[in-house]
């Protein structure tokens, strides 16, 4: 046994380094309520001080963790608190975080049943639960990926495979050169990740048939061109600015009848299906072909937790197929058939933990609370004299001051104050401030405190 092995076995046996990591993690979480939401210049500089030439000799594990905490913790964005609204960034449920820690200790690799039976079991359970929560077809399968970017890519990959296969073209064997031309139809306010997927798949962003959107960013159903069996249609469950949902009821069934492939980008909005007062927003969505969402957004699992759902198992498997003599597949579910990745962590376990902790009623309450805090923001900002640019539908809100210059100034002052964190946006030729309420930790007091920060920033009291 080498001296290095001795040190690592000792670290495992005495648990000091693991205990220290737990202590430092708790310290970070305890400090969040009184910390700036975004790190200061000094805190960022502290993290940058870690730059050095690759050291010749290593450092004791316990000192590594201490150094990491002392120099870098301050440079972390405090999105786990209740006043981070800058992007669609969920907080993290304590039970999901704990499940992540435990699963990381298990250190599972999830491509095959033979590499991790426990991962397969949890993936199967979560697939059933999500299919039920979202009211999706019985044949729907799920793949667990890093986030919406990869989930959308996977859904469109399946669509590309199926539409070309139906034309007698095997994309896996014959490639794109000489392939029948596919159409892509999307609303002008489609999310950047969906457009990125179109580009990565070689379908060409210049070939997208853009459809104008309404005042909430939803695709205009009356302007959608005639669809056919060579069309991939991109829809949204939750516009990133106004939270608007496309009219699935009037679009999806007719798209299916035309033989088109419909993908629903539901990064945060798909979870509306699990809330009694909001599930009407996704009515008809079950007639789409594939759906993508992030558990690390509305459900508040830790990051790196996206899901692709697809009603055409063969298309998803074929599009993402990998083979090798060492990839021993059997009769059990093999997760790699549903994702582009081979080696990957067991993401489904923390999704299971969150859903098991919440139950159907808890998911409903979580989603409804996020929307309630959004409506509170709307009311208090209105009362304070700010202008709502969109009537909020779900958990996204867009507002502005009298001029673009004032809007920019107020946003910058609020960010600098550390009271809360929001982001700028452009909307219909106006500069705007976007609020995304995605954390379970956001309270009534957090909203009021944040609105006060906006008032102070506008009125020169910041």
Q: Are 447 and 381 in contact (CB under 8 A)?
A: no
Domain boundaries, the chain: 3-78, 98-354, 358-459
Predicted local confidence at residue 242, as pLDDT:
79
Mean pLDDT over all residues of the chain?
94
Tell me which fold the domain 98-354 belongs to: 3.40.640
Tokens of 142: 């799920």
Judged against a pLDDT cut of 70, whether residue 462 lies above it is answered with: no
Average pLDDT over residues 328-334: 77
> Residues 104-152: pLDDT tens digits?
999 999 999 999 999 999 999 999 999 999 999 999 999 999 999 999 9
The larger pLDDT score, comparing residue 403 to residue 461, is at 403
Decide: 68 and 404 in contact? Cβ < 8 Å: no
Query: Could you read off the pLDDT of 355-393 as tens digits, one per residue?
Result: 999 999 999 999 999 999 999 999 999 999 999 999 899
> What pLDDT shows up at residue 35?
85
DSSP 67-114: HHHHHHGGGS--TTSS-B-SSS-----HHHHHHHHHHHHHT---SSTT
Look at residue 253 and give its three-state secondary structure. Answer: helix
The residue that leads in pLDDT, 108 or 2, is 108
Record: fold of 358-459: 3.90.1150
| pLDDT greater than 60 at residue 1 | yes
Per-residue pLDDT tens over the stretch 60-71: 999 999 999 999
Looking at residue 291, its pLDDT comes to 98
- Tell me whether the CATH fold assigned to 98-354 matches the one assigned to 358-459: no
d(CA 367, CA 278): 9
| Mean pLDDT value across residues 399-424 | 94
What does the pLDDT look like over 77-101, one tens digit per residue?
999 989 999 888 889 999 999 999 9
Share of the chain above pLDDT 90, in %: 85
When pLDDT is cut at 50, 70 and 90, the band that residue 326 belongs to is low
Total-model pTM? 0.95
Q: Given this model, what pLDDT does residue 327 score?
A: 60
Average pLDDT of the segment spanning 208-225: 96
Task: State the pLDDT confidence band at 328, using cuts at 50, 70 and 90.
Answer: low
Closest CA to 307 of 323, 296, 321: 296
224 contacts 262 by C-beta, under 8 angstroms: no
Longest dimension (CA), the chain: 72
């Amino acid at each position: 046994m080498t001296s290095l092995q001795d040190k690592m076995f000792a670290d495992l046996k005495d648990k000091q380094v693991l205990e220290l990591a737990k202590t430092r993690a708790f310290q970070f979480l305890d400090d969040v309520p009184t910390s700036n939401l975004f790190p200061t210049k000094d805190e960022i500089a502290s993290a940058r001080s870690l730059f050095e030439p690759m050291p010749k000799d290593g450092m004791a594990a316990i000192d590594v963790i201490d150094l990491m905490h002392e120099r870098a913790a301050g440079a972390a964005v405090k999105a786990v608190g209740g006043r981070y609204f800058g992007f669609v960034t969920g907080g993290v449920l304590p039970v999901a975080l704990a499940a992540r820690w435990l699963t990381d200790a298990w250190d599972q690799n999830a491509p095959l049943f033979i590499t991790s039976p426990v991962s397969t079991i949890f993936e199967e359970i979560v697939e059933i639960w999500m299919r039920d929560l979202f009211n999706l077809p019985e044949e729907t399968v799920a793949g667990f990926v890093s986030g919406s970017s990869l989930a959308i890519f996977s859904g469109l990959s399946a669509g590309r495979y199926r539409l070309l296969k139906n034309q007698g073209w095997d994309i896996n064997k014959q490639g794109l050169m000489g392939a029948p031309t596919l159409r892509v139809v999307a609303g002008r306010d489609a999310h950047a990740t969906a457009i990125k997927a179109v580009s990565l798949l070689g379908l060409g962003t210049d070939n997208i048939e853009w459809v104008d959107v309404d005042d909430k960013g939803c695709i205009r159903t009356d302007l959608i061109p005639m669809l056919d069996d060579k069309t991939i249609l991109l829809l949204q469950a939750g516009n990133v600015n106004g939270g608007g949902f496309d009219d699935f009821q009037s679009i999806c069934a007719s798209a299916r009848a035309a033989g088109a492939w419909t993908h629903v980008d539901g990064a945060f909005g798909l979870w509306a299906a699990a809330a009694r007062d909001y599930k009407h927003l996704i009515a008809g969505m079950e007639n789409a072909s594939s759906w993508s969402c992030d558990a690390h957004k509305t459900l508040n699992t830790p990051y790196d937790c996206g899901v692709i759902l697809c009603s055409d198992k063969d298309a998803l498997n074929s599009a993402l197929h990998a083979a090798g003599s060492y990839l021993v597949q059997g009769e059990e579910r093999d997760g790699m058939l549903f994702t582009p990745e081979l080696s990957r962590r067991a993401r489904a376990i923390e999704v299971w933990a969150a859903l098991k902790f919440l139950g159907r009623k808890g998911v409903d309450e979580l989603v409804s609370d996020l929307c309630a805090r959004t409506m509170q923001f709307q009311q208090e900002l209105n009362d304070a004299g700010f202008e709502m640019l969109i009537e909020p539908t779900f958990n996204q809100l867009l507002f502005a001051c009298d001029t673009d210059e004032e809007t920019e100034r107020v946003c910058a002052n609020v960010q600098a104050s550390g009271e809360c964190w929001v982001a700028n946006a452009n909307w219909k030729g106006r500069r705007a401030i976007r609020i995304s309420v995605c954390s379970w930790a956001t309270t009534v007091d957090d909203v009021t405190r944040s609105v006060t920060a906006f008032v102070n920033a506008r009125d020169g009291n910041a």
